[in-house]
């Protein structure tokens, strides 16, 4: 059997020179770079964009570029101020500007008497991508509530009325209750278009709002919770009341409590359309993810005039035909 000729491998040992002496200096440089990155990250979170306060409507908003007009009222009396939304999470837009314009135009088609000025090219200048500060709650309502019930028919017939007192124990859970932290866009508007995908929430420092306005909160955390708590108690009492048989029902004692199970501060995306007609605000808001829209157009003078002319012509034509064939 042939025998292989052996060979040996000699380890390569480079000349390290003075590298060990420089090791501490390299570590210091790396540490310094890491600290700079941390500082920049903190800055990107704490100092988000440029924040302004409007002297006309008192709206506070944040943008990534210097501007001269308020996002809400269009006023020019704006001044730099502090940002209070750095702790919020953000939902991304799904609709483009063109998609939002199409939604708006379809909405106005259902209002043929709307002013022509709301349909013109100026709408493109009025529509803005806006993030509204909101709070998202998971709540539990529990406790007892007492009702006094009577029958209305007894009071009408003159028969002595009988009152019935009922006691109910309540334990309701509500998930993803959205409440607005900006007073000029009330909950009722957001509730009518609330179909957001909350699984897409991300950190505000992510660069996904570069062409949008961030409205700053006008309520503190305590005021926001009081608002959503009152809403939960009222809704829970309404559920119980609707299931009582008596025709007249009055709460005699309300011992309902609301506990927060989960709470998040979020920015929800809307397309905000604010216009003026005869000195009054005309506002439409569009869900930036689903395209749902809420808002009512006023009746325009030109629409009334055109409708009056059409009605007059129809009546005139009918009268002429009746007279002609009579």
| 48 has pLDDT over 70 | no
Residues 262-312: tens digit of each pLDDT: 999 999 999 999 888 888 888 899 999 999 999 988 887 766 777 778 888
Pair 275, 123: CB distance under 8 Å: yes
Residues in the chain: 326
List the chain domain ranges: 61-94+127-282
Residues 49-60: tens digit of each pLDDT: 788 999 888 889
| 23 has pLDDT over 80 | no
**DSSP string covering 245-290:** --SEEEEEEEEEEEEEEEEEEEEEEEEEEEEEETTEEEEEEEETTT
DSSP single-letter state for residue 184: T
Q: 253 — alpha (psi -120 to 50), left (phi > 0) or beta?
A: beta
Distance CA 287, CA 293 (A): 6
Distance CA 190, CA 198 (A): 15
Burial class (CB in 10 A: 0-12, 13-18, 19+), 131: buried
End-to-end CA distance of the chain: 131
Task: Work out the pLDDT band at 18, boundaries 50, 70, 90.
Answer: low
| 4 has pLDDT over 50 | no
Distance CA 83, CA 308 (A): 52
Average pLDDT of the chain? 80
Task: Work out the pLDDT band at 35, boundaries 50, 70, 90.
Answer: low
Per-residue b or e along 153-167, where b marks 16 or more CB atoms closer than 10 Å to that residue's CB = eeeeeeeeeeeeeee
Distance CA 181, CA 216 (A): 8
| 179 has pLDDT over 50 | yes
Pair 232, 177: CB distance under 8 Å: yes
Residue 119 pLDDT: 79
> Considering only 7-21, 173-187, 288-302, 303-317, which range has the smallest mean pLDDT?
7-21
pTM for the predicted model, two decimal places: 0.73
Distance CA 91, CA 203 (A): 9
> Considering only 148-152, 222-226, 271-275, which range has the smallest mean pLDDT?
148-152
Distance CA 208, CA 325 (A): 70
| 154 has pLDDT over 70 | no
Query: Which of the given ranges, 11-15, 118-122, 215-219, 269-273, has the highest pLDDT on average?
Result: 269-273
Residue tagged 């709470």 (tokens): 263
| 236 has pLDDT over 50 | yes
């Amino acid at each position: 059997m042939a025998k292989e000729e052996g060979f040996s491998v000699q380890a390569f040992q480079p000349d390290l020179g003075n590298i060990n002496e420089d090791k501490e200096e390299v570590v210091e440089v790396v540490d310094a770079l890491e600290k700079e990155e941390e500082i920049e990250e903190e800055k990107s979170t704490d100092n988000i964009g440029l924040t302004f306060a409007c002297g006309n409507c008192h709206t506070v908003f944040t943008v990534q570029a210097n501007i001269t007009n308020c996002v809400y009222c269009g006023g020019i009396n704006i001044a730099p101020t502090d940002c209070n939304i750095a702790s919020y999470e953000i939902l991304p837009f799904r609709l483009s500007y063109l998609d939002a314009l199409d939604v708006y135009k379809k909405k106005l088609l259902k209002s043929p008497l709307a002013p022509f000025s709301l349909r013109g090219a100026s709408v493109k200048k009025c529509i803005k991508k806006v993030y509204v500060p909101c709070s998202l709650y998971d709540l539990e309502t529990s406790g007892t509530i007492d009702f006094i019930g009577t029958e209305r028919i007894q009071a009408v017939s003159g028969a002595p009325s009988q009152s019935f007192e009922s006691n109910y124990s309540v334990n309701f859970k509500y998930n993803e209750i959205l409440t607005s932290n900006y007073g000029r866009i009330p909950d009722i508007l957001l509730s009518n278009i609330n179909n957001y995908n909350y699984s897409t929430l991300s950190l505000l420092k992510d660069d996904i709002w570069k062409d949008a306005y961030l409205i700053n909160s006008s309520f503190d955390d305590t005021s926001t919770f009081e608002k959503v708590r009152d809403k939960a108690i009222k809704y829970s009492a309404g559920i119980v009341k609707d299931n009582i048989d008596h025709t007249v029902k009055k709460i005699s004692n309300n011992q309902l409590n609301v506990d927060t199970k989960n709470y998040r501060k979020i920015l929800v995306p809307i397309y905000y359309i604010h216009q003026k007609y005869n000195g009054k605000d005309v506002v439409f808001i569009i869900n930036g993810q689903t395209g749902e829209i809420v808002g009512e157009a006023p009746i325009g003078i030109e629409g009334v005039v055109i409708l009056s002319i059409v009605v007059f012509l129809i009546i005139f034509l009918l009268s002429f035909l009746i007279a002609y064939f009579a």
